[in-house]
Structure 1
Amino acid sequence: MVRQTASAIAVALLLVAGAVPASAVAASGESHAYAGAHVTFDVQGSAVTDYAVDGETIVERIGVQSASQASSSGSGVLGADGGLDLSATANVDLSGLTLGATTAASATVEAESGATLTAHDENNGVLVVESGDESQVVVATLSADAEAAADGDRRVEVTTASGTEATFLAVGNASVTVNDDGNVSGQVGANGTIVLRAYPDGKSAADDRTEELIASGRAAGEVYAGAAADASAEASASVVTYANETAITAEQSAENTVNVTVERADETGKVLVATVSEAAVGSTEDLDVAVSGGAAAEVSSYGELEAALGGDESAYMVTREASGNATVYVAFDHFSARTASISGADGGDQQSSTETTTETSSTTESSGSGGATTSGGSPGFGVVTLAGALTALAAFLARRD
């Protein structure tokens, strides 16, 4: 299936601080290969370098190489049993990288080995590694004095020197571990992904649960509707998809209502994770969720939420954060096409719909494994204008003079 992105902002809902291309200049004035509202990084030869979220460097270097090339190059990664020894990846000759498509909400880095690394410019700075047509080895060098601990072969938890937490997750046909150098290595094959999520504002119990849903293959994707960095900015949307052969569309159909439509060829139920701010839904104190026009059952536990998968009725659960944002978990009981309408206060007055994102994964769903990801940007939810940004800059310079 061909992956499509209708110009806009992709699944996890956030705000874009301006209409200036995200690859322009970081807030510090330093030039980067990509510099968004949250994520900055460079591309140097065979590695994505200085991958930072909200100014905190999470990974100093991350790169990939095809498993066949890594095992035949004398790097020592071939184990005694003929399989890959992910603990011994220090000498892997990584594949050359090229910065590909960039938008206000994402950037894709393409490897000569066929893999792609897609960075999503949202609150968690999600980075997704996909294999392409051939299994890949992934090697990530952490920031100085960072510590990493493996939790099985599906999760590696990282803590930077400043205390910022991040997690590497293996979805579907993939695995991750801590290598002999104390850094992170992984292998990702077809129908699998490796996902990096960062938590610059601290990690919550809801974040832990979201990780479990992603790693287990039960999450279809994420949607973020965040707060603007500038008071004059309007809400915009960003999308990350984890399930294979899945299409997701996000649109604002009313003043305080966001509609997210998920289409899947596989009828198996999945969970949509949506982080919404007051900028997108008015108030997060009393959210209502409808699924395909009918009221969904609100539940109070993750057990009840997951019981809805494959059940007779879709369900949702809301967790709220100190920041005022809310995370809404919507468990679709089945597919193929289902729409979740998330409404805050006064969300009933309908307006004309404005489509902001269409995303279709390019791989085939297989027994709960993770899937492909891509994202783009569009003006559906609104952004700061270039003129406004230049006006603010002029005012700042005038004050300096």
Structure 2
Amino acid sequence: MNRNAVVAVLIAAMLGVSVVAAAGAGASSVESSATSQSETYAGSHLEFETSGSALTNYAVGGETVFSSVAVDSRSDASSGANAGIDLGAVVNLEGAGLSVSAESQTKTRIESESGATLSAHDNERGILVVRAGGDAQVVEAQLGENVQASAEGDGERVVVEGDDRNGVFLVIGDGDVTVNEEGNVAASLEGESTLVFRSYEDGERTDETKSQEQLIADGSAAAEVYVEQRDGETVTDSVTYAEDLTLEAKQESERRVDVTVDRAIKEGTIVMTTVEEETVGTVEDLEVRVDGEAAVQASSQSELESAIGGEGSAYMVSQHAEADAKATVFVAFNHFSERTASIDGSGADEGSSDDGTGSSTESDGLPGFGALAALLGLLGTGVAARLRR
């Protein structure tokens, strides 16, 4: 091969390497651009975006509760792995990168490069769960417009109040939550701890819902379920606060909802299930069975909690405002592993019949009693008419 041919071969080889390098650089640029693009979620109750290192424009019931949520490992958020951190001074947290890892009709799971996991739930509370994931984490939630925050207790919870919606941040496990120098919410979580956000329509945060918050915060309630009708279809959303527990809810029949809970440890827990009237037929007279056996109806929260580890499971029913036609059923499973609670609203109709006017008449179970009562009523009317003559 002469000198010119060798030069030509070398030039061709160099051009080939340059083309490959350029193609690789282009692919990397496209991938980086794709990962930096924001993703938008819009559900029946909840709307938000994931953009880079923050969850943004988190709106429940049409109201933006906070404009962004960022999370990062404590070692990266502070000046060193062993350095302490002043929560009040945690402002404008840059946050670690976020990516959506799983999405269903009611739940979006978001992974943080810091090791934390965020779960956003499309239910009436717009629940957000931030799990530390084994490493200590720092979280900052910058509030939406016209939303104010105030601390309750000693690092136990922070209440936020907006125009039409309020909310609360709770810590489960070891950690603290407070209001920072900018008036936003800042939290510090030890490994395996959890930060929970729940929201309420204006006026819904009552003594009843505060009791629910306490059950969640102290670990007595490890999960909750929401069952509702959307466009004629029953939709369920399951929220777990403990790592060792999974659950599934489904409408078993027109008047019955089954909640199946599986826990890796034997210790019992409380599961709160909110049902709409359309999913169980009625919320006036609900019955609960656990694994086919009738659960005891508790008369107080302390009696409910005492069922955990006791001889049998127990339940309580809390009806919402009459206009809501909803109820929250508290089921205290006395032990595990896999248990199924059946919430049944069909018992209210037993022994009653519709009289054609939209009301029901009770009978004592004797055949023809309702017809006999109607006949006596007619005879009585005739007698009264003759007496008036």
CA shift, 1:105, in A, is 0.8
Q: Which runs of structure 2 are paired with 1:175-324 in the superposition (5 Å)?
A: 175-200=176-201, 202-228=204-230, 230=231, 233-322=232-321, 323-324=324-325
Question: How far apart, CA to CA, are the structure 2 residues paired with 1:243 and 1:210?
Answer: 16
1:150 lines up with 2:157 in the alignment = no
The letter for the 2-side match of 1:51 is: Y
Quote the offset at 1:149 in angstroms: 1.6
Aligned to 1:64: 71
SS of residue in 1 equivalent to 2:188: strand
Query: 1:395 maps to what in 2?
Result: none
Contact 1:88 1:179 in 2 (8 A): yes
Match of 1:380 in 2: none
Relative to structure 1, is the Cα distance of residues 91 and 60 closer, same or farther in structure 2, using a 3 angstrom cutoff? closer
Distance 1:283 1:345 in 2: 8
Q: What residue is the counterpart of 2:49 in the other structure?
A: 42
Structure 1 distance, partners of 2:223, 2:88, is 30
1:362 alignment partner in structure 2: none
Identify which of structures 1 and 2 has the higher relative contact order when contacts are C-alpha pairs closer than 8 Å and 6+ apart.
Answer: 1
Query: RMSD of the TM alignment (CA)?
Result: 2.2
**Identical aligned residues as a percent:** 45
Match of residue 370 from structure 1: none
Counterpart Cα distance in 1 of 2:58 and 2:39: 10
CA contact (8 A) 1:282 1:346 kept: no
SS at match of 2:109: strand
Query: Could you tell me how far apart the structure 2 residues matched to 1:311 and 1:206 are?
Result: 24
Displacement of 1:163 in angstroms is 4.2
Residue identity in the other structure for 1:189: E
Identify, as 1 or 2, the structure richer in helix.
Answer: 2
1:205 alignment partner AA: D
Shift, 1:347, TM fit = 9.2
Q: Which amino acid letter does the alignment assign opposite residue 237 of structure 1?
A: T
Give the corresponding residue for 1:327: 328
Q: Which amino acid aligns with 1:275?
A: T
Runs of 4+ in structure 1 off by over 6 angstroms are none
Unaligned runs of 5+ in 1: 1-30, 350-401
Q: Please name the residue that 2:8 is paired with.
A: none
Matched residue SS, 1:224: strand
Corresponding residue for 2:142? 141
Q: Deviations over 1:130-187 (max 9, x none)?
A: 1224211000111123221212222111101x14210001012332111121111112
Secondary structure at the aligned position of 1:214 is classed as helix
The Cα of 1:234 is off from its aligned counterpart by 1.6
SS in structure 1 at match of 2:191: strand
Alignment of 1:316-355 (within 5 A): 316-322=315-321, 323-345=324-346
* Deviation of 1:205 (Å): 3.1
Amino acid at match of 1:213: L
Q: What letter is aligned with 1:187? A: S
How far apart are 1:88 and its partner, in Å?
0.9
C-alpha displacement at 1:255, in angstroms? Answer: 2.5
Letter in 1 for 2:44: A
> Conserved in 2, the CA contact under 8 Å of 1:254 and 1:347?
no
- Secondary structure of 1:266's match? coil
Q: Is the 8 A contact 2:151 2:157 kept in 1?
A: yes
Per the normalisation by structure 2, the TM-score is 0.75
- Alignment-derived partner of residue 169 in structure 1: 170
Deviations 1:251-271 (A, max 9, x none): 332321111121222222210
Alignment partners' CA distance in 1, 2:190 and 2:228: 32
Q: Measure the CA separation in 1 of the matches of 2:146 and 2:249.
A: 40
Alignment partners' CA distance in 2, 1:174 and 1:341: 35
**TM-fit CA distance, 1:203:** 2.3
Tell me the distance in 2 between the aligned counterparts of 1:163 and 1:262.
Answer: 34
Q: Distance in 1 between matches of 2:113 and 2:39?
A: 21
Contact 1:107-1:118 within 8 A present in 2 as well = yes
For 2:86, the aligned partner's letter is D
